[in-house]
Amino acid sequence: MAARSAVLDIRPRFYRPGRLSPLTTLAIRGVAVLVLIGIALGGHWVDRDGLRDNTDGSVSFLDIVYFTVITVTTVGYGDIVPVSDSARMFDTFVVTPIRIFVFLIFLGSAYSFMLRQGWERWRMGLVRHELKDHVIVCGYGRSGSAAVSELLERGHSPQRIVVVDEDSGRLRLAEEWGVATVEGDATHNRVLEIAKVEAASNIIVCPGRDDTAVLIVLTCRRLAPRAGIAVSIAAIENELLARDAGATIIVNPVSFGGQLLAQCTTGPHVADYVTDLVTRAGRIELRERAVRAEEIGTSPRDAAGSQIVRIYREEKVIEVAQAQAERLMAGDWVIELVEAT
């Protein structure tokens, strides 16, 4: 993959990209170390009469620099030692905390710039290994972000959602939901392989361009022949291309929105009812499921806790009012209306 980075996380967390570059961060930490050493150096210089040089008996400025550095970074060699009470108290209550802070700064820098990268690679590999039957969202624009929000509202675990996008800023927003992310072009095989597309149960494609969407569908269908693929297409003439590419479901928000607006001219409540049907926040929900074993042979009108409105039987669409809908059969899929919980 030509992706610049890949981030996989299994825990919900709040994340925003740092405003400082790694080089700037390292420079700030270096300045902090110099300031701390400078404080120790100044204290030793002011109270230099409390120090004794066992080598020549004279404490010069270079001796102060030497003594300060080895005292902050080690425990000293004993050639220069504090002899007065004030010098000993300064080393005890000022230099010792400075030594600890300097150690922590160096340790944090080593972790940030070396250890963390190896740890993240190992952790991401472990998370990818456990990914299965997850949902991949290709494109985190307006449609993609709305899809992720709705998936989470419907009870999908963030651990089973992977967002793929080339824009790192969008991915940072997606990570605020706790979902996994992969940065890269979803038309590339390697990017989708990092998202473990071959193990995904469903793929949502909404990059914002029809040509890109069709290409992503083609790539996904080749790598994941059994996954359900839903794609957002803006132009009606491109819907057939998306279908030929292997899309399972095609959603045209432009034409659907226009149809809904036209329908609203007949009454003020159509849009409200449709919103209830398709969103988790509504008072009723529209769900699709396989017929249950105990329902086989019964009338769809007798379904408990729901209202079955349509039946899918061997590629046939059967409305409840039709004669074929008198009894549910094994292998049927039903669309039902249920009260939102």
pTM of the model: 0.60
Dihedral angle sign, alpha carbons of residues 126, 128, 133, 137? positive
User: pLDDT digit string (tens) for 134-172?
Assistant: 999 999 999 999 999 989 988 889 889 999 999 988 998
User: pLDDT digit string (tens) for 49-98?
Assistant: 888 888 888 889 998 999 998 888 887 778 888 888 888 898 888 888 89
CATH 3.30.70.1450 domain range(s) in the chain: 283-339
d(CA 311, CA 117): 52
User: Mean of the pLDDT values across residues 200-215?
Assistant: 95
d(CA 291, CA 288): 10
Name which CATH class applies to 131-251: alpha beta
User: Mean of the pLDDT values across residues 235-240?
Assistant: 92
User: pLDDT digit string (tens) for 245-296?
Assistant: 999 999 998 888 887 788 888 887 887 888 777 776 678 888 889 999 999 9
User: Mean of the pLDDT values across residues 321-329?
Assistant: 87
Does an H or E element contain 241, and which? helix 239-245
The per-residue pLDDT for 74 is: 80
User: Mean of the pLDDT values across residues 184-193?
Assistant: 92
How high is the mean pLDDT of the chain? 84
Phi and psi for 272 in degrees, rounded to 5?
A: -65, -40
Bridge partners of 137, per DSSP, are 163, 204
CATH code of 283-339, in short, is 3.30.70.1450
CATH code of 22-129, in short, is 1.10.287.70
CATH 1.10.287.70 domain range(s) in the chain: 22-129
CATH 3.40.50.720 domain range(s) in the chain: 131-251
Does an H or E element contain 286, and which? strand 284-290
